[in-house]
Amino acid sequence: MQRLKSTHVIRSDFPYLADWFAISTRWAGLLLFSWQLASARAYDLPIILALALTAAWNVFMTILALRNTRLPLHRLLSVAVDLIAALVIFYFSGGFQGPLVWAGVLPLLSAGMYYEWRGGVLTGSLLAVCQLVLGLVATGSVQWQSFGLAIGWNLALGLVLGALGGRIIIQLRSAYHAQVNRRRQAELEAQREEGNRLRAFYRMIETLSATLNYQVVLDTILDLSATLLGESESERLISAVLLYNGSPEMQVNVAWGLSPSDKQISFPGRQGVLEEVLHSANRSVVLHPTQDPELGRISSMADCSSLLCLPLVRGMDVFGVLIYAHPDIAFFTEDRIELLEMVSHQAVIAIQNARLYKDLAQEKERLVEIEDEARKRLARELHDGPVQSVAGISMRLAIARRMLAKNSTNTDSELAEIESLARRTVEEIRHMLFTLRPLVLESHGLIPALQTMAEKMQDVYQQPVQLETDAAVVEQMDAARQTIIFYLAEEAVNNARKHAEASEIQVRLGELPGQRGFALLEVEDNGHGFDINEVLSSYERRGSLGLISLQERTDMIGGVLKILSKPGEGTRVRVIIPLDAAAAERIQRGLLSLGN
């Protein structure tokens, strides 16, 4: 028990149980004294004054107890006042022969409450001695028999009352503290529940603010609403997000409590509460929503008596509305409306961000298509021009070699070398055409295209390339993504061929170990390697753009690129490729990165 001490009083945060018990017994004793005196018709003024002063003291003690305060030497003063009052009443009521010979019970009770059996015995002895003195003063002689009975009675009663008083106080304190602990436990439990609720709320707010996945945003809006309202309060709540999805009418994008048929309804937003909310951009509470001209078509709200409609509007952008309906007509109090408005404000920002990200992703796809078309055009031009010319040169040189074979011995070997060089040039140009527009990629897919690339590397450059692919992973990729992955692999292999002087290059494409929704492309060589930091620091002065090209292509598919290399230890290019929107979001939020 913590106490704040001052010069005059001592304050406590808890009630003084012993004081309350002493006050109660004192009031009971005063009532009994008054009744006994009335019965004996003993109305002496000193007795009345003693009773009045004792009652006044008890009133003062009651006030202190109500304020949880005490005087210095509080217990000793209480016992002393009770002892003086008891002795006055004892003396003026006739002493050992009077009706209130038992008045000493009052201080014995107080002493027993405050000091237990030791206080009871000591007070009983003091009381007996004082009664002996008062008897001697009153009669002029010592009444040994009465004194013996008094001291025996006082000591026995003090011992009994002290023992009982200590036990009673202990039990009272135990009961009181148990009740306080239960109340505190209940408060802590309530605070814990509120804390859990707030933590869940902030987690959902964080998710709503950070996620760029459109569907996750919509689902989180309703989850957040239920969290704020509480599970029990939102049990019968119907909620829905109605949005314009590029159409003139709002559609139900996500809902709780609506039937499948209700989710198919379209809402023009030109009548009733929808028209009002969209036009004013302010909230609206409607009673008996089944009577609304548009929302009344929702059969799942037949039992609902109240509806809250919140606008999802930001600036000039009108996304739709957020609706809540409940059977209780008084469910949407001002506090609940404010909580749900918080959700709507966060929802508008999250929906806008998600749509911007979705538009950006579509723009990336469009750029990929434009680049692909440019490659196709370049492939056609090369095929119709340089390849035909070089092939013609090769044929004419072959004829010239046969014509000159009869007249010159030196011309033959030279012409043969020219022919070989021309043929190699044709193969290289054809390989360039393959990389610019791999027809096998368009017709047969990524794996055959990679196999063809490996074969051409061997035929044209005598560069061995080992290939490992997982067809199940490739099947999860669309055509545009397969095209970019092909060019990533081709660029990495070409860089290794040109710069690493590797005797072996390995290309692996499969699932990222330990992660669902991700593919992993690895191109590894056993060449001489390089210092990545040194290369990157001087990259602006270099003519090659291989690393930049790899990074740009990786960005096109929303992936993560990491190049591992050291001088003399070869090079490994690793690219993590997201296969769905959830995986792309994890990369976007920085929740996934390449290891070593």
* Per-residue pLDDT, 4: 38
- The SS3 of residue 239 is strand
> Comparing C-alpha atoms, which of 560, 452, 549, 548 is closest to residue 507?
452
> Comparing C-alpha atoms, which of 206, 222, 258, 216 is closest to residue 344?
222
* Per-residue pLDDT, 34: 72
**Residues 330-382: tens digit of each pLDDT:** 899 888 888 888 888 888 888 888 777 777 777 677 667 657 655 665 665 56
* Per-residue pLDDT, 506: 92
> Comparing C-alpha atoms, which of 252, 355, 354 is closest to residue 297?
252
> Comparing C-alpha atoms, which of 579, 551, 588 is closest to residue 353?
588
Cα–Cα distance list, 357 to 210, 417, 582, 584 (Å) = 12, 57, 13, 11
DSSP designation for 512: P
DSSP designation for 268: -
Where the chain has pLDDT below 50, the residues are 1-8, 12-14, 385, 541-544
DSSP per residue, 110-125: HHHHHHHHHHHHHHHH
- The pairs formed by 414-419 with CB atoms below 8 angstroms and a separation of 24 or more are 419/394
- The SS3 of residue 519 is strand
Kindly tell me the burial class for residue 316, based on how many C-beta atoms sit within 10 Å of its own C-beta (0-12, 13-18, 19 or more). exposed
Query: What is the spatial distance between Cα 487 and Cα 69, in angstroms, rounded to a whole number?
Result: 85
* Per-residue pLDDT, 428: 65
Strand partners, 3: 12
Crossing angle of the two packed helices 144-210 and 334-384, in degrees rounded to 10: 30
Cα–Cα distance list, 574 to 431, 507, 524, 555, 594 (Å) = 24, 10, 9, 14, 8
Strand partners, 10: 5, 70
Token pair belonging to 472: 């199940």
Backbone angles phi, psi at 407, to 5 degrees: -105, -20
Token pair belonging to 372: 């692909």
Kindly tell me the burial class for residue 211, based on how many C-beta atoms sit within 10 Å of its own C-beta (0-12, 13-18, 19 or more). buried
Q: What is the dihedral of CA 424, 429, 430, 431, to 10 degrees?
A: 90
Q: What is the dihedral of CA 546, 550, 553, 554, to 10 degrees?
A: -170
* Per-residue pLDDT, 551: 82
Query: Residues 338, 345: contact at Cβ < 8 Å?
Result: no
Residue type, 171: Q
The ranges assigned to domains in the chain are 3-183, 214-360
- The CATH H-level superfamily of 214-360 is GAF domain (3.30.450.40)
CA atoms within 13 A on the CB side of 39: 9
- Helix (H) / strand (E) element for 573: namely strand 571-578
Query: Residues 79, 119: contact at Cβ < 8 Å?
Result: yes
Report the length, in residues, of the chain. 596
Query: What is the spatial distance between Cα 28 and Cα 20, in angstroms, rounded to a whole number?
Result: 12
Backbone angles phi, psi at 445, to 5 degrees: 105, -175
Q: In what order do the strands lie in the sheet with 284-287?
A: 266-267, 250-256, 238-244, 317-326, 306-314, 284-287
Query: Residues 193, 140: contact at Cβ < 8 Å?
Result: no
Query: What is the spatial distance between Cα 164 and Cα 112, in angstroms, rounded to a whole number?
Result: 8
Crossing angle of the two packed helices 105-139 and 17-40, in degrees rounded to 10: 40
Query: What is the spatial distance between Cα 113 and Cα 108, in angstroms, rounded to a whole number?
Result: 9
Crossing angle of the two packed helices 214-229 and 144-210, in degrees rounded to 10: 160
Query: What is the spatial distance between Cα 362 and Cα 378, in angstroms, rounded to a whole number?
Result: 25
Query: Residues 452, 440: contact at Cβ < 8 Å?
Result: yes
